[in-house]
Structure 1
Amino acid sequence: MGSWLVLLFDPEAQAGAWPAGLPLLHAVADGVIAAAFLLVPAVLLFLYKRRGESSEREAALVKLFLLFVFAVGLVHFAALLGPGIPSPALEGLLKGAAALLALATAVGLVWLAPHLLRLPSRDRLQSEIAAHLQTLDELRATRHQLEERVEARTKELAEAKQRFEIALRGSPISVFSQDQDLRFTWGHNLPAGIKPEALIGKTDANILPPAAAEKTMAVKRKAMDTGTSQELQIDFELYRRERSFYFLIEPLRGGDGNVIGTASVAVDISERKANEQQLRLLLRELTHRSKNLLAVIHAIARQTAVRTT
């Protein structure tokens, strides 16, 4: 045991005392260390590229660490090639490159130190993660409540739409909306002969006779300009049939309160006007016949009075 200690710490005793396989041991050790330190940067660089999520400072830190490990590998690689190099120039060049890389790593770490100190600690990251998870749970609960509200509101709207369609079904009432250019954007329960898909995108000028269209569009523009409801009763020929309509026109407003078009209700009063006209004819005929009857009665009464005298 004492002889081994002497060999380890006495330079004079070391001369010629080491076994012949010792240089091989040094070469194998340097080779393994060099291979390890050159392989580690390659593996770390591969993992870093695959991960792909990092800030600029994190990327700089990783690259500096890879340069440092690569520099250490170059030193051991130079030591491995040292005995076989005819001139020490290559070995010195490799060690110089390793020294420059190590120096660049050290300078880079000094430059990054203030930024690294500002990185959040593990406890802080855990607390932030816990806070984010709590916020995520709250958002999920809020989303669930919103989904329930949307589902309930959708059901209410569907029921209201169904009642609306039932109320208008078979009635002479039509409803529709138009944009600021008075182009139809929606229509329901339209007069016979007009289909909703044929109405969308058109104006009154494309549907009504010129005179009726001009008068109707003027009233609708007035509703948009004044922001008040307007009424109109108009007669025109539609599909070779004389029709009479009563219009109630309301300005249609957007979410910001500005007028974006019109919403109108059109009531077909053609049948009612026809009944009124028929009733007037009957009253006129009844009045005429009543006058004739009164004239006859008056004549009979006069003749009766003459005979009695």
Structure 2
Amino acid sequence: MEGSSLQNITLCGLGVVLLILASISLFAYGSLIGVGLAATVSNPILIVAIANTVSLVLLAGLYSQLHLLLAHTQRTNEELLVEIGECRREEAQKTELIQALQESEERFRVALKNSPIVVSNQDTDLRYTWVYNPASGVEGSTLVGQLDTELFDPENAQRIIPIKQRVLTTGVGERQEIVITVDGKLRYYDLTVEPLWNQAGEIVGITCAAANITNIHIREQTLHAIFEETIDAILIADDEGYYVEVNPSASQLFGMPNSQLIGHRIADFMEPGFNFEQVWRSFVEMGQSMG
């Protein structure tokens, strides 16, 4: 559109120049004809007047065309100014979008800084196209272009690749806990894989987020060991007061196996007449208020 307007302006400018030159030439030509005829006829003044009149008529026609060209040029200039204004508005919008994107990216980087989360993109061949916050202090750019089979040993790669391939095939995201070996030690990750779509609605890759939950898993294992081995009876109930987990010491205390205790309600072991519902409701509300 902008190129078309500039072309119109150029053509109009050339037309104006040509009309001016043609007008000058025509006026001079008419005058010369009049002068030439005046030398051969008995009434030269009349001949010159007629020649000049014809020249003026032609010049009037040329002036009319020139006026139309100038009007067209003015309209073209106005259209160009409108287009320039639109371009400036679009440029301002692009600048705002770029600034918003930069701010969003900065928040993203701050949120992930020093966190145990690795975020990455891979194409349909599962080659890494972008990696942020990789483990072991490795630069993400050094991983771009590589496959999981090039970064992990075959056993670890086969735990990861099938998940990603399913997401590419089905277009449905998945979240799984995976275990891989890093430097001879087990590492637990909460892996989320989502399809990456283009504007045409086609899958062009995947986005992955892997959170290192090894420390959480170790703490859970430690707590589970304490739960199983302590001599104290521990029973875990849900919000309705039903047992969902009991340890061996609790089974020994009640004289019932775990399978029988789980599913029983605390109220089942209370003395008759005890207002369990009111006490339990107050207990739950107090726990909720404390977070």
- TM-score range normalised by the length of the shorter chain: 0.5 to 0.7
TM-score normalised over the length of structure 1: 0.52
Structure 1 residue 132: Cα displacement: 2.0
Which residue of 110, 122, 140 maps to 1:178?
122
Q: Which runs of 5+ in 2 are unaligned?
A: 1-13, 19-63, 234-246, 253-291
Structure 1 residue 169: Cα displacement: 1.4
Match of 1:154 in 2: 98
Count of residues paired in the alignment: 181
Higher helix share: 1
Q: Which runs of 5+ in 1 are unaligned?
A: 1-53, 59-119, 296-309
Structure 2 residue identity aligned to 1:260:
V
8 Å CA contact 1:247–1:264 kept in 2: the answer is yes
8 Å CA contact 2:118–2:131 kept in 1: the answer is yes
Structure 1 residue 214: Cα displacement: 2.2
Cα distance change on mapping 1:241 and 1:131 into 2, 3 Å = farther
Which residue of 236, 252, 255 maps to 2:199?
255
* Separation of aligned partners in 1, 2:158 and 2:223: 32
Match of 1:103 in 2: none
Structure 1 residue 239: Cα displacement: 3.0
* Separation of aligned partners in 1, 2:178 and 2:197: 26
Which structure is larger by alpha-carbon Rg, 1 or 2?
1
Structure 1 residue 188: Cα displacement: 1.2
Is structure 2 residue 118 aligned with structure 1 residue 203?
no
Q: Give the ranges of 4+ consecutive aligned residues of structure 1 lying more than 3 Å apart after TM superposition.
A: 287-292
Cα distance change on mapping 1:278 and 1:291 into 2, 3 Å = closer
Which residue of 181, 188, 195 maps to 1:244?
188
Structure 1 residue identity aligned to 2:217:
K
* Separation of aligned partners in 1, 2:98 and 2:70: 41
User: Within 5 A, what are the aligned runs for 1:273-288?
Assistant: 273-287=217-231
Structure 1 residue 130: Cα displacement: 1.7
TM-score normalised over the length of structure 2: 0.55
User: Within 5 A, what are the aligned runs for 1:85-234?
Assistant: 121-234=65-178
3-state secondary structure, aligned to 2:205: strand
Identity %: 24
Structure 1 residue 288: Cα displacement: 8.5
* Separation of aligned partners in 2, 1:128 and 1:183: 57
RMSD of the TM alignment (CA)? 3.2
3-state secondary structure, aligned to 2:189: strand
Structure 2 residue identity aligned to 1:154:
I
User: Within 5 A, what are the aligned runs for 1:76-87?
Assistant: none
* Separation of aligned partners in 2, 1:233 and 1:287: 32
